[in-house]
Amino acid sequence: MTLLTFVAFGWDKRLARKGKPRLAESVLLMLTFLGGTFGALIGMTFFRHKYAKKTFILKLVLVVAVQLALIFLLKEHLTDQR
């Protein structure tokens, strides 16, 4: 998932440079949510993509916060099962 998300960020940057229709932000965020967090962060840095767009950064932070909350809840639920 990390690699797929990284490639998606690179592809979207390429489309942006060529002035072609781009991937929806929701696609990039969904890939991030489904396990591509590191790919998104590396892709944003490597391709310098979506870096300056504050609304996207805010949404990305929200996705990561939800991921962390789900991990915490899952951990708590699994440890309470004993």
- The residue extents of the domains of the chain are 2-80
Q: Average of pLDDT values for 52-74?
A: 95
pTM: 0.88
- Helical H runs in the chain? 2-18, 25-31, 37-47, 54-80
**Buried b or exposed e, range 40-79, using 16+ CB within 10 angstroms:** bbbbbeebebbeeeeebeebbeebeeeeeeeeeeeeeeee
State residue 26's pLDDT score.
96
For 12-16, 39-43, 51-55, 57-61, which range has the lowest pLDDT when averaged over its residues? 51-55
Percentage of the chain beyond pLDDT 70 is 98
